[in-house]
Protein backbone atom coordinates (compact mmCIF):
# COMPACT_ATOMS: atom_id res chain seq x y z
CA UNK A 1 0.00 0.00 0.00
CA UNK A 2 1.16 3.56 -0.71
CA UNK A 3 1.56 5.57 2.50
CA UNK A 4 0.68 9.24 2.43
CA UNK A 5 2.36 11.42 5.04
CA UNK A 6 1.05 14.92 5.62
CA UNK A 7 2.77 17.65 7.55
CA UNK A 8 2.15 19.33 9.77
CA UNK A 9 -0.59 17.41 11.57
CA UNK A 10 -1.95 20.72 12.80
CA UNK A 11 -1.13 24.38 12.56
CA UNK A 12 -2.30 27.65 14.01
CA UNK A 13 -2.65 30.59 11.68
CA UNK A 14 -4.33 33.96 11.38
CA UNK A 15 -6.65 35.37 8.76
CA UNK A 16 -4.53 36.60 5.89
CA UNK A 17 -1.67 34.18 6.48
CA UNK A 18 -0.16 32.07 3.76
CA UNK A 19 -0.51 28.39 4.65
CA UNK A 20 1.34 25.48 3.07
CA UNK A 21 0.52 21.83 3.76
CA UNK A 22 2.74 19.11 2.38
CA UNK A 23 2.02 15.53 1.45
CA UNK A 24 4.64 12.88 0.72
CA UNK A 25 3.88 9.54 -0.93
CA UNK A 26 5.91 6.42 -0.15
CA UNK A 27 6.33 5.83 -3.89
CA UNK A 28 5.69 7.77 -7.05
CA UNK A 29 2.02 8.44 -7.80
CA UNK A 30 2.38 10.46 -10.99
CA UNK A 31 -0.11 13.31 -10.65
CA UNK A 32 -2.97 11.36 -9.10
CA UNK A 33 -2.96 13.42 -5.95
CA UNK A 34 -6.05 15.23 -4.72
CA UNK A 35 -6.88 17.52 -1.80
CA UNK A 36 -10.07 17.66 0.26
CA UNK A 37 -11.33 20.02 2.92
CA UNK A 38 -13.48 18.75 5.75
CA UNK A 39 -15.39 20.85 8.24
CA UNK A 40 -16.67 19.41 11.48
CA UNK A 41 -19.69 17.17 11.06
CA UNK A 42 -19.66 17.36 7.27
CA UNK A 43 -18.45 15.22 4.40
CA UNK A 44 -15.14 16.17 2.82
CA UNK A 45 -15.27 18.37 -0.26
CA UNK A 46 -12.89 18.35 -3.20
CA UNK A 47 -10.53 21.32 -3.52
CA UNK A 48 -7.79 20.28 -5.96
CA UNK A 49 -7.61 17.28 -8.27
CA UNK A 50 -4.74 15.79 -10.24
CA UNK A 51 -2.17 17.83 -8.28
CA UNK A 52 -2.90 21.26 -9.78
CA UNK A 53 -6.49 21.52 -11.00
CA UNK A 54 -8.88 23.68 -9.03
CA UNK A 55 -12.33 22.16 -8.57
CA UNK A 56 -15.18 24.30 -9.89
CA UNK A 57 -16.38 26.78 -7.30
CA UNK A 58 -13.25 26.61 -5.15
CA UNK A 59 -11.65 30.02 -4.51
CA UNK A 60 -8.44 30.81 -6.36
CA UNK A 61 -6.55 31.31 -3.10
CA UNK A 62 -6.22 27.51 -3.04
CA UNK A 63 -3.52 26.00 -5.24
CA UNK A 64 -1.71 22.71 -5.55
CA UNK A 65 1.73 21.74 -6.76
CA UNK A 66 4.20 18.89 -6.80
CA UNK A 67 5.22 15.80 -8.69
CA UNK A 68 6.42 12.25 -8.15
CA UNK A 69 6.24 11.79 -4.41
CA UNK A 70 6.12 15.35 -3.01
CA UNK A 71 3.08 17.56 -3.17
CA UNK A 72 1.72 20.64 -1.46
CA UNK A 73 -1.47 22.60 -0.94
CA UNK A 74 -1.17 26.36 -0.55
CA UNK A 75 -3.75 28.77 0.77
CA UNK A 76 -2.47 32.17 -0.28
CA UNK A 77 -4.46 34.26 2.18
CA UNK A 78 -6.31 32.33 4.86
CA UNK A 79 -9.97 33.28 5.27
CA UNK A 80 -12.25 32.58 8.25
CA UNK A 81 -14.09 29.86 6.36
CA UNK A 82 -10.82 28.00 5.69
CA UNK A 83 -10.38 26.79 9.25
CA UNK A 84 -10.89 23.08 8.71
CA UNK A 85 -9.05 19.79 8.27
CA UNK A 86 -7.32 19.06 4.97
CA UNK A 87 -6.56 15.63 3.52
CA UNK A 88 -4.47 14.53 0.58
CA UNK A 89 -5.39 11.37 -1.30
CA UNK A 90 -3.68 9.23 -3.92
CA UNK A 91 -5.71 7.31 -6.47
CA UNK A 92 -2.71 6.03 -8.45
CA UNK A 93 -3.01 2.56 -7.00
CA UNK A 94 -5.43 0.45 -5.02
CA UNK A 95 -6.02 0.71 -2.13
CA UNK A 96 -6.50 4.42 -2.51
CA UNK A 97 -5.01 6.06 0.55
CA UNK A 98 -5.37 9.32 2.41
CA UNK A 99 -2.96 11.36 4.44
CA UNK A 100 -3.68 11.56 8.15
CA UNK A 101 -5.02 15.09 7.85
CA UNK A 102 -3.89 18.59 8.74
CA UNK A 103 -6.05 20.62 11.07
CA UNK A 104 -5.86 24.36 10.46
CA UNK A 105 -6.83 26.25 13.59
CA UNK A 106 -7.18 29.90 14.43
CA UNK A 107 -4.21 31.45 16.19
CA UNK B 1 -28.33 18.94 -8.90
CA UNK B 2 -26.41 15.79 -8.08
CA UNK B 3 -26.99 14.38 -4.64
CA UNK B 4 -25.84 11.22 -2.97
CA UNK B 5 -28.32 10.42 -0.24
CA UNK B 6 -27.40 7.81 2.33
CA UNK B 7 -29.57 5.79 4.67
CA UNK B 8 -29.90 6.70 8.30
CA UNK B 9 -27.84 6.03 11.40
CA UNK B 10 -27.59 2.49 12.74
CA UNK B 11 -26.85 0.97 16.12
CA UNK B 12 -25.63 -2.61 15.98
CA UNK B 13 -24.43 -5.30 18.35
CA UNK B 14 -20.95 -6.80 17.99
CA UNK B 15 -21.01 -9.75 15.62
CA UNK B 16 -24.02 -8.49 13.66
CA UNK B 17 -24.19 -6.98 10.17
CA UNK B 18 -25.09 -3.57 8.81
CA UNK B 19 -26.18 -2.47 5.35
CA UNK B 20 -25.87 1.16 4.33
CA UNK B 21 -27.33 2.48 1.09
CA UNK B 22 -26.39 5.41 -1.13
CA UNK B 23 -28.81 6.70 -3.74
CA UNK B 24 -27.51 8.78 -6.66
CA UNK B 25 -30.02 11.38 -7.82
CA UNK B 26 -28.29 12.51 -10.99
CA UNK B 27 -26.21 11.44 -13.93
CA UNK B 28 -25.41 8.24 -15.69
CA UNK B 29 -25.30 5.93 -12.69
CA UNK B 30 -23.88 2.90 -14.46
CA UNK B 31 -20.63 4.57 -15.55
CA UNK B 32 -19.53 6.17 -12.31
CA UNK B 33 -17.30 4.56 -9.71
CA UNK B 34 -18.74 4.64 -6.20
CA UNK B 35 -16.38 4.42 -3.28
CA UNK B 36 -16.97 3.78 0.40
CA UNK B 37 -14.84 5.67 2.90
CA UNK B 38 -15.14 5.55 6.65
CA UNK B 39 -14.07 7.85 9.44
CA UNK B 40 -13.79 6.66 13.02
CA UNK B 41 -14.49 9.26 15.72
CA UNK B 42 -11.77 11.91 15.69
CA UNK B 43 -9.78 10.02 13.07
CA UNK B 44 -8.90 10.36 9.40
CA UNK B 45 -10.40 8.93 6.23
CA UNK B 46 -10.08 5.26 5.31
CA UNK B 47 -10.89 3.84 1.88
CA UNK B 48 -12.85 0.60 2.05
CA UNK B 49 -13.77 -0.37 -1.49
CA UNK B 50 -15.52 0.63 -4.71
CA UNK B 51 -17.81 -0.49 -7.49
CA UNK B 52 -18.58 0.61 -11.03
CA UNK B 53 -22.15 -0.53 -11.74
CA UNK B 54 -21.63 -1.20 -15.45
CA UNK B 55 -18.77 -3.58 -14.59
CA UNK B 56 -20.62 -5.08 -11.64
CA UNK B 57 -17.33 -5.91 -9.95
CA UNK B 58 -16.23 -4.54 -6.61
CA UNK B 59 -12.70 -4.00 -5.29
CA UNK B 60 -11.96 -4.08 -1.59
CA UNK B 61 -9.17 -2.99 0.68
CA UNK B 62 -7.38 -6.07 2.00
CA UNK B 63 -8.37 -5.13 5.54
CA UNK B 64 -12.09 -5.63 4.76
CA UNK B 65 -12.00 -8.61 2.41
CA UNK B 66 -14.25 -11.38 3.60
CA UNK B 67 -16.62 -9.23 5.61
CA UNK B 68 -17.46 -6.35 3.24
CA UNK B 69 -19.74 -6.54 0.21
CA UNK B 70 -20.48 -3.61 -2.08
CA UNK B 71 -23.30 -3.97 -4.61
CA UNK B 72 -25.10 -1.75 -7.08
CA UNK B 73 -28.79 -1.80 -7.96
CA UNK B 74 -29.08 -0.20 -11.40
CA UNK B 75 -32.89 -0.13 -11.28
CA UNK B 76 -32.87 2.25 -8.32
CA UNK B 77 -29.46 3.94 -8.85
CA UNK B 78 -28.45 2.81 -5.39
CA UNK B 79 -25.19 1.40 -4.09
CA UNK B 80 -25.16 -0.74 -0.96
CA UNK B 81 -22.37 -1.44 1.50
CA UNK B 82 -22.79 -4.43 3.81
CA UNK B 83 -20.34 -5.20 6.57
CA UNK B 84 -20.54 -8.39 8.61
CA UNK B 85 -19.07 -9.53 11.93
CA UNK B 86 -19.10 -6.01 13.30
CA UNK B 87 -16.68 -5.02 16.07
CA UNK B 88 -16.62 -1.97 18.29
CA UNK B 89 -13.73 -0.66 16.18
CA UNK B 90 -16.15 -0.43 13.21
CA UNK B 91 -17.94 2.44 14.92
CA UNK B 92 -17.54 5.23 12.39
CA UNK B 93 -19.23 7.52 9.92
CA UNK B 94 -19.47 5.77 6.57
CA UNK B 95 -19.44 7.90 3.41
CA UNK B 96 -20.17 7.02 -0.17
CA UNK B 97 -18.40 9.16 -2.75
CA UNK B 98 -18.15 9.06 -6.50
CA UNK B 99 -16.19 10.36 -9.43
CA UNK B 100 -17.60 12.02 -12.55
CA UNK B 101 -16.89 9.30 -15.07
CA UNK B 102 -14.27 8.26 -17.57
CA UNK B 103 -10.66 9.04 -16.64
CA UNK B 104 -11.55 10.63 -13.32
CA UNK B 105 -10.65 9.03 -10.02
CA UNK B 106 -11.19 11.82 -7.52
CA UNK B 107 -14.38 12.15 -5.48
CA UNK B 108 -16.49 15.06 -6.63
CA UNK B 109 -19.72 14.04 -4.92
CA UNK B 110 -20.13 12.74 -1.40
CA UNK B 111 -23.05 11.41 0.59
CA UNK B 112 -23.90 13.05 3.88
CA UNK B 113 -22.45 10.16 5.89
CA UNK B 114 -24.08 7.44 7.96
CA UNK B 115 -23.08 6.92 11.57
CA UNK B 116 -22.79 3.25 12.48
CA UNK B 117 -22.40 2.60 16.18
CA UNK B 118 -21.34 -0.88 17.29
CA UNK B 119 -22.01 -1.42 20.95
CA UNK B 120 -23.20 -4.16 23.23
CA distance A49 to B84: 33
Contact between residue B46 and residue B64 where contact means Cβ atoms under 8 Å apart: no
Closest-CA distance, A36 to chain B, in angstroms, reads 9
Q: Tell me whether residues B61 and A95 touch, CB distance under 8 A.
A: yes
Q: Tell me whether residues B106 and A46 touch, CB distance under 8 A.
A: yes
pLDDT for A72: 98
Q: Collect all residues from A whose CB is shorter than 8 A from any CB in B.
A: 1, 32, 34, 36, 38, 43-46, 49-50, 55, 87, 89, 91, 94-101
CA distance B65 to B83: 10
In this prediction, residues B25-39 reach a mean pLDDT of 91
In this predicted model, what pLDDT tens digit does every residue of A11-44 receive, in sequence order? Answer: 999 999 999 999 999 999 999 999 999 999 999 9
CB pairs under 8 A between A and B: 50
Nearest to A98 among B45, B104, B105 (CB): B45
A8: phi then psi, degrees, rounded to nearest 5: -75, 175
Extended strands (E) in B46-85: 46-52, 57-60, 68-73, 78-83
Q: Kindly give, in sequence order, each residue whose CB lies less than 8 Å from that of residue B26, ignoring residues fewer than 6 positions away.
A: B1, B2, B3
Q: Tell me whether residues B106 and A49 touch, CB distance under 8 A.
A: yes
> How far lies B65's CA from each of A77, B19, B22, B82, B100, in Å?
44, 16, 20, 12, 26
Closest-CA distance, B106 to chain A, in angstroms, reads 7
Q: Tell me whether residues B106 and A43 touch, CB distance under 8 A.
A: no
Contact between residue B26 and residue B35 where contact means Cβ atoms under 8 Å apart: no
Give the pLDDT band of residue B26 (cuts 50, 70, 90).
Answer: confident
pLDDT for B106: 96
Residue B57 DSSP SS3: strand
Amino acid sequence: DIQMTQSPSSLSASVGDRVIITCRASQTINSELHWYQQKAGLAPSLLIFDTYSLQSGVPARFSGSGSGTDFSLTISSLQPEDFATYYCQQTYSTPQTFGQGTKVEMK
Amino acid sequence: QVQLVQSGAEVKKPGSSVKVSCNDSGGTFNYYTFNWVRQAPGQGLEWMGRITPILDTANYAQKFRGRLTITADKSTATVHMEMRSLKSEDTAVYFCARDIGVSTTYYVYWGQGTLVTVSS
